Structure 1
């Protein structure tokens, strides 16, 4: 009788290890920064070992750990064409990221763009034999105002920017972007690789309907029919159209606009509102911290998104998840979010925008019906589904 073979010791299986490279991360305030933060913290909560390499928010390099994520903040300087953002110092950046990848040993590098940090991370990953996933949040329209590009040169500058994007992202093993429309945009700009739409996703446990009266009291918003916008108060959001629509809306409904966010258009919007006689009906709440953001949507009866450079619009999704009807510009990815839950209008058609807002604000039953449709559409964008898909993509590229 032979002796039983000794049992093999269990093999330890370590979690996935991901290095996320990004040029913008909180405290930056923009959609790409918010998405990257939610991706990093969401993956960490699911047991992934997550490292983020990004610009330092105060200029000095340092190592932090926040919400289960290891943050490698690199030496940075102020971005001359932007009032608040910082950019990583390019000198020696490639070697720095080479050493970082060697030390961390990630299974995959996931870049959120093709600028300074993203470009360096893709190059370092290729040199180190690490697979690359790349997600695009970029549109030249989002940068024109900060770079002060004259309108007559924007098409040419945009074409050059798209060619630069293609050179960097062509080195990735897998490319994603938030929506099918955004994927089609890349194809239309000459990017020859397959692009998978993966929603940015929203946390449906946070963003859900809440009592309106309580929210209005908290944020000091008068109790009257309310149109809400959340986002940067910048050029491509075209908020002048929303302000210009308000006098026409007020001919039928005793309405007001609430604008949440900061940006370089605030003063001009205040002047416009005063000049056309609605200064007291356009309220600026300024920057609202992310921890309180879910509550601000509850002040509104309808959400408006006049922007024309939205690759998905996380703010619109969050509004939908709280049960708000939506009126949005018929531009870029916004039509993807409207299906029985609101209206689209041609960008620039202020009269059409006002008509849709009046229709919704004048009919409580219609608002309720559209609100239910918004909830159903938002349910398709649960960020847990997006996180699971990204984990699967990481496994696919690392096993090739």
Structure 2
């Protein structure tokens, strides 16, 4: 089958980790030999590469097209006006990529189905495009698009419209399906297909050697994610006064870095916290494998891939009990769920993990249950059904 994968959540040369979970799922699907895909991954238009625009200038540096893991990827630009951008985003997104999709079809790649990721604005725009090009659409819900954005009236209305007209819907966990049903979407049309983990990329390392090279000399926590309020790195930092023999390493970049650094100084723990910046997955694997625990204190998560990545490297996790996370951390060898999402809750969960610390081999075996095979087969089954119904 020929797919057109459509999402603003997709890596590019400028931001190689952006939406990497979408690329990974697609990579495994294509490896089955039963599907091929062209990728249209729009990026917001920005007028200048000048450094005075900070991180936004990076959008101007994204190439118009590139090849990633053998996949052809187009990055058309779309305008996202301030203040009204959220409301108009689906319409602007759909309009901006029509010429790119028409060019792909005219070049000989007349795809069968649009595989869209993230319900708003991407999924709504994908339905508009599907109607324009007479193609069926499957939309994958991934987290914030369902557990946050529907709080706004107009986006919620558009999400419900897209759900009504989608030929198939996927969620990355059962909790998101239940939330969609709560919004009024027919649960019989929703297929939960959890994310897997790349067991070849994320493997245990020689812990003693890597720990020494990375400067891990005491019980070490690793926190991975954007430096933004939702990821709640501040709760983990605030737990350190209750964990006097623990050091923390934070992998990620974002607008909260200076605020988090100030917090470490205020709590007098700056000597125990190291900010690593954004790391490629090849380098991140070493930190996963060498740390004693990976901590995720997020307020919202659909299916947090970092949890399984850490477990695949043999390192258990401490995580907030939100959305799909209990479906990932479901056994003692996986790690511990926090009783409460507070600094004290983080500290208590870390102490609980240390008191009953699993073997690294057991944690790795737990992660091995989450290969991509079942997810790939689930996609193929769903897409086959959609195409059969569309053709008939």
Does TM, scored on the shorter chain, surpass 0.5? yes
Residue 77 of structure 2 corresponds to 75
Determine helix, strand or coil for the equivalent of 2:165.
coil
Distance 2:247 2:211 in 1: 13
2:364 is aligned, of 370, 375, 378, to 375
Instruction: State yes or no: 1:301 paired with 2:292.
Output: yes
TM-score (ref. length: structure 1) = 0.81
CA distance in 1, matches of 2:146, 2:276: 25
| C-alpha distance in 2 between matches for 1:269 and 1:179 | 31
Name the counterpart of 2:5.
20
Asked whether 1:398 is paired with 2:387, we answer yes
Residues 1:348 and 2:333 aligned together: no
Q: Closer, same or farther in 2 for the Cα pair 1:373/1:216, shift >3 Å?
A: closer
Pick one of 181, 185, 190 that aligns with 1:187.
181
- 2:191 pairs with 167, 173, 196, which one? 196
Displacement after TM superposition at 1:191 (Å): 2.3
Per the alignment, in what secondary structure is the counterpart of residue 274 of structure 2?
strand
Counterpart contact for 1:23–1:115, Cα < 8 Å: no
Q: Please tell me whether Structure 1 or Structure 2 has the larger radius of gyration of its CA atoms.
A: 1
What is the rounded CA distance, in whole Å, between the counterparts of 2:101 and 2:222 in structure 1?
A: 45
- The answer (yes or no) to whether the contact 1:45–1:68 under 8 Å persists in 2 is no
Q: Render the CA deviation track for 1:41-97: whole Å, top value 9, x for unaligned.
A: 33333333210111255378733332221112212457858xxxxx89648426426
The 3 A distance-change label for structure 1 pair 45 and 327 is same
CA distance 1:213–1:60, shift in 2 (3 Å): closer
Q: Is the 8 A contact 2:94 2:128 kept in 1?
A: no
Structure 1 residues 78, 294: closer, same or farther in 2, change over 3 A? farther
More helix by share: 2
Q: Secondary structure at the match of 1:64?
A: strand
Find the residue that maps to 1:368 and give its secondary structure: coil
| 2:26 counterpart residue number | 40
- Is structure 2 residue 103 aligned with structure 1 residue 113? no
Deviation at 1:231, TM superposition (A): 1.2
Runs of 5+ unmatched residues, structure 1: 1-15, 82-86, 145-154
The 3-state SS of whatever aligns with 2:294 is: strand
Q: What do the CA deviations read for 1:257-301 (whole angstroms, capped 9, x no partner)?
A: 111111111111111111111111011111101232222201210
1:388 aligns with 2:390: no
**Cα 1:98–1:298 shift into 2, 3 Å:** closer
Matches for 1:135-150 after TM superposition, within 5 Å: 135-139=140-144
Q: Within 1, Cα distance between the matches of 2:62 and 2:283?
A: 29
Alpha-carbon separation, structure 1, partners of 2:315 and 2:138: 34
5+ residue gaps, structure 2: 44-58, 84-88
Q: What is the distance in 2 between the residues matched to 1:257 and 1:91?
A: 43
User: C-alpha displacement at 1:115, in angstroms?
Assistant: 3.7
Are 1:96 and 2:81 counterparts? no
- Structure 1 375/17 Cα, relative in aligned 2: closer, same or farther at 3 Å? same
Aligned to 2:48: none
Q: Structure 1 residues 47-56 or 240-249, which shifts more?
A: 47-56
Q: CA RMSD in A?
A: 2.9
